[in-house]
């Protein structure tokens, strides 16, 4: 897959603040889809930073982290960029006009050898330059190469070496007598003459830098020898004196006329919405597009915006809009594979939606491998095992079903790991909070939910080692009110779950949060903490009680 195909690949992505299931399911399902339907390539993605548990898993099985996407709104790279090649700044005005004519485009982008944008030139610039063609010093001012003159006049070098040489004088049309020519020429001038040998001789003797002999006229051996002695370049052209005189100013390089400052450019990651606003506010038709390294890749116009390709997504481990990556409304959802309650996600058309009441999305994906007769390699087995262990708290969570446990034990055999020893190592690494900020810990596994008019967030950290749990609580306790205000929520609840002891200490923030929890769990809340024995699942134990209590309060 080239870079553009890779970007256009279907993105398999989990929820924001991804947990191990969200990441591992995206990788495992991408692999399955690529085996079953290689014509429509998929790639695993993530909607947020990895937590330490997931980092441990990917490092253990030597799997690279999925690409990060925090927003799937349409970008410039999602439109049909016109791959118009950049041109060299030494290109002549005439050559630039011919390219515009043949390619039916009114803007050319000028680039250097590394494809870095140096400027742009439009057909209007070329027209303006031609109207200024009466300036006899234009080739000198533009430091025009003799190679450009040779090209546009379709000429041949009769005398001299033009390599690397540039014009240092005026343009003179030698149509008069030899005496008149002698009076008008200064050293370094370009003199355009016909077949009159006395005119050719006069130009050379007066120190002309170049003599252009038109209409394929003969040049005597004597004149050639004199030109060589004087260091005068002689160029022969099949064009008439009139045509050569009209065209020669078009040899000026486009760098002399291009716009260099305040260029309006877009990056591949520029949003289509922002780019469209810019396009409608100016009179330009085409705009250069630069890649992530600042190299020129093509141009876009307002017309290209009509060829927008929405990003295609497969959602795993979530189906609620407020948990999805930013810009989800402007993307095309193809499938949803999940094990949570059916939430607020809406799609433009019918999609494949597989929702199974098991403890982990990877359990569902394992079933899909089995149903399609696809062999599970050792690495993929290890990833799916890790997801199940994480989501079911090594089978201690009430969300865990017999199917989850049977699946995990099969996957452990395929992955070649000791299930219990591996789980202990995974949870211990996941619970290590050393060197982390409160915000980093907070976002490790955090989701936002809606219940009627109430919006609240629920986070969870699962710990095998008590010192890790206590250290995490101490960091997060003062941060919850800050996060509540920043996110504009009614409540925030954070679960600090003791995996071995199968219990949770719940911290909370928000006006009325303590009375809500006390009513929901029939417990005493002390110093903003509620101890919930036996509660280890956000999805099955905490969330339903919070939502039911909120609904009861609405009805009262």
Mark out the alpha helices in 37-145 (DSSP H runs).
52-60, 93-103, 123-131, 138-141
pLDDT of residue 485: 94
pLDDT of residue 262: 86
- The phi, psi pair for 376, rounded to 5°, reads -100, 120
Distance CA 419, CA 526 (A): 38
Query: How far is the first Cα of the chain from the last one, in angstroms, to the nearest whole number?
Result: 59
Taking the C-alpha atoms of 471, 472, 477 and 479 in order, what is their torsion angle to the nearest 10 degrees?
A: 120
Distance CA 475, CA 482 (A): 12
List the chain residues with pLDDT less than 50. Answer: 1-4
3-state SS, residue 428: helix
pLDDT of residue 2: 45
* Parallel, antiparallel or unpaired: strands 266-267 and 287-290: parallel
Say which DSSP state 160 is in. S
Of 211, 220, 217, 215, the C-alpha closest to 192 is: 211
């Amino acid at each position: 897959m080239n870079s553009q195909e890779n970007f256009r690949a279907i993105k398999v992505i989990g929820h924001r603040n991804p947990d191990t299931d969200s990441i591992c399911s995206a990788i495992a399902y991408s692999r399955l889809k690529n085996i079953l339907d290689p014509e429509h390539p998929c790639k695993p993605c993530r909607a947020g930073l990895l937590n330490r548990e997931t980092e441990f898993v990917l490092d253990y099985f030597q799997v690279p982290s999925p690409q990060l996407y925090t927003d799937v709104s349409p970008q410039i790279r999602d439109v049909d960029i016109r791959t118009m090649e950049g041109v060299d700044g030494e290109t002549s005005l005439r050559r630039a006009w011919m390219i515009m004519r043949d390619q039916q485009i009114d803007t050319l982008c000028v680039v250097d050898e590394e494809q870095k944008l140096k400027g742009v030139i439009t057909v209007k610039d070329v027209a303006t330059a031609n109207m200024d063609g009466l300036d006899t010093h234009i080739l000198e001012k533009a430091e025009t190469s003799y190679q450009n003159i040779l090209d546009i006049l379709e000429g041949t070098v009769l005398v001299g070496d033009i390599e690397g040489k540039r014009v240092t004088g005026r343009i003179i049309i030698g149509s008069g007598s030899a005496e008149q020519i002698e009076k008008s020429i200064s050293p370094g001038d370009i003199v355009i003459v016909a077949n009159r040998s006395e005119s050719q001789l006069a130009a050379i003797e007066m120190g002309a830098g170049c003599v252009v002999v038109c209409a394929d006229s003969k040049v005597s051996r004597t004149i050639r020898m004199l030109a060589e002695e004087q260091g005068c370049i002689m160029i022969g052209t099949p064009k008439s004196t009139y045509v050569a005189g009209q065209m020669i100013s078009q040899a000026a390089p486009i760098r002399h006329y291009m716009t260099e400052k305040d260029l309006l450019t877009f990056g591949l990651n520029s949003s289509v919405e922002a780019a469209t606003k810019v396009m409608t506010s100016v009179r330009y038709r085409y705009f250069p597009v630069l890649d992530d390294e600042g190299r020129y890749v093509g141009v876009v116009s307002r017309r290209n915006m009509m060829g927008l390709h929405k990003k295609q997504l497969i959602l795993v481990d979530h189906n609620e809009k407020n948990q999805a990556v930013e810009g989800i409304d402007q993307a095309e959802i193809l499938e949803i594979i999940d094990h949570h309650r059916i939430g607020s996600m809406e799609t433009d058309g019918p999609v494949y939606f597989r929702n199974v009441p098991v403890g982990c999305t990877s359990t569902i994906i394992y079933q899909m491998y089995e149903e399609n007769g696809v062999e599970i390699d050792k690495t993929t087995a290890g990833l799916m095992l890790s997801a199940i262990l994480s989501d079911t708290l090594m089978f201690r969570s009430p969300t865990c079903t017999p199917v989850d446990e049977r699946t995990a034990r099969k996957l452990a055999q395929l992955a070649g790991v000791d299930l219990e020893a591996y789980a202990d190592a995974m949870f211990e690494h996941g619970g290590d909070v050393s060197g982390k900020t409160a915000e980093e810990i907070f976002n490790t596994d955090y989701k936002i939910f809606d219940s009627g008019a109430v919006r609240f967030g629920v986070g969870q950290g699962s710990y095998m080692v008590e010192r890790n749990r206590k250290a995490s609580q101490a960091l997060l306790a003062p941060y919850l009110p800050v996060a509540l205000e920043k996110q504009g929520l009614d409540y925030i609840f954070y679960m600090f779950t003791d995996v071995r002891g199968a219990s949770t200490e719940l911290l909370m923030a928000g006006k009325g949060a303590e009375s809500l929890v006390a009513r929901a769990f029939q417990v005493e809340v002390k110093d903003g903490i509620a101890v919930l024995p036996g509660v280890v699942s956000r999805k099955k134990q905490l969330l339903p009680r919070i939502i039911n209590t909120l609904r009861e309060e609405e009805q009262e």
